[in-house]
């Protein structure tokens, strides 16, 4: 080959050409798939919300969402109201599930901004569920979840997910054995808000004691567990003023 691949001009030209080709290729792929990806994310979010209130197809031990094609119908069937909460006032808003918690948290850094808190009210078998989305930090990346409470503010179900926790360790927060421990757990101790602590120590491995506001931690995932504790505490805390009004 006669081309001199060692020359500086060639090297620079090659680098420029490569960046342009790769850049436009990635931009093209991202643009053309954007709609479909957003759609998938919306469906996932609705599946997660429904999962927390017990609308799922769980079999023994494994997590099973309702099928994709049933999501739209079921979401409007079971989620009867969606609210945006500011302080103690709740405004109805049927697009509340589109609120981006990450963006809200960033905006809320300005003291003048009152954070919009989405709340979903679900109804199933004559029981009312209040589903609260939460978001926090794990070991490697973001973690988030949905917590379904009943009128007495006792946890009825949760769904957790993560962006990049270690599979088999912190990644286990989205497994049944961990999430099911939260069912029935109290978030108030007496009249004070306590949250739920992911607690190390083997005093209650089956999480039978529901009033201690504690669930059993996972081995090898201390930091993710602490992240879950902090996420629940911080996330639910913001709703406490409104939740207290429900109790009356």
Instruction: Give me the residues that bind other proteins (CB under 8 A), please.
Output: 1, 3, 5-6, 10-11, 14-15, 18, 22, 25-26, 29-30, 33, 36-37, 40, 43-44, 62, 163-169, 171, 205-206, 219-220
From the CB of 83, what's the least distance to other proteins, in Å?
Answer: 28
Q: What is the distance between the alpha carbons of residues 174 and 181, in angstroms, rounded to a whole number? A: 12
From the CB of 51, what's the least distance to other proteins, in Å?
Answer: 14
> Looking at the chain, how many residues does it have?
248
Place of tokens 């007495």: 152
The residue among 160 and 239 lying less far from other proteins, judged by its C-beta, is 160
The residue among 18 and 80 lying less far from other proteins, judged by its C-beta, is 18
The residue among 72 and 152 lying less far from other proteins, judged by its C-beta, is 72
The residue among 50 and 117 lying less far from other proteins, judged by its C-beta, is 50
From the CB of 176, what's the least distance to other proteins, in Å?
Answer: 11
From the CB of 223, what's the least distance to other proteins, in Å?
Answer: 13
Q: How many CA atoms lie within 13 A of 175 on its CB side?
A: 13
Structure tokens at 125: 């078998």
Q: What is the distance between the alpha carbons of residues 214 and 194, in angstroms, rounded to a whole number? A: 10
Are 145 and 161 within 8 A, CB to CB? yes
Q: What is the distance between the alpha carbons of residues 155 and 187, in angstroms, rounded to a whole number? A: 7
């Amino acid at each position: 080959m006669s081309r001199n691949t060692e020359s500086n001009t060639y090297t620079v030209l090659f680098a420029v050409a490569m960046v342009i080709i790769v850049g436009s290729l990635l931009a093209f792929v991202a643009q053309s798939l954007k709609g479909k990806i957003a759609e998938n994310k919306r469906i996932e979010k609705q599946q997660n919300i429904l999962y927390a209130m017990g609308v799922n197809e769980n079999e023994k031990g494994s997590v099973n969402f309702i099928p994709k094609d049933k999501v739209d119908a079921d979401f409007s069937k079971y989620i009867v109201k969606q609210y945006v909460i500011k302080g103690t006032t709740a405004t109805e808003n049927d697009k509340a599930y589109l609120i981006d918690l990450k963006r809200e948290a960033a905006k809320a850094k300005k003291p003048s901004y009152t954070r919009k808190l989405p709340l979903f009210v679900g109804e199933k078998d004559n029981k009312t569920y209040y589903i609260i989305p939460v978001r926090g930090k794990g070991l490697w990346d973001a973690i988030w979840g949905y917590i379904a409470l009943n009128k007495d503010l006792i946890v009825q179900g949760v769904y957790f997910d993560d962006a990049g926790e270690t599979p088999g360790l912190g990644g286990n927060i989205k497994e049944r054995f961990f999430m099911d421990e939260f069912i029935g757990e109290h978030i108030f101790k007496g009249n004070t808000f306590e949250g739920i602590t992911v607690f190390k120590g083997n005093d209650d491995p089956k999480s039978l004691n529901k009033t201690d506001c504690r669930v059993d931690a996972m081995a090898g995932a201390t930091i993710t567990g602490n992240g879950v504790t902090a996420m629940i505490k911080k996330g639910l805390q913001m709703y406490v003023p409104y939740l207290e009004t429900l109790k009356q």
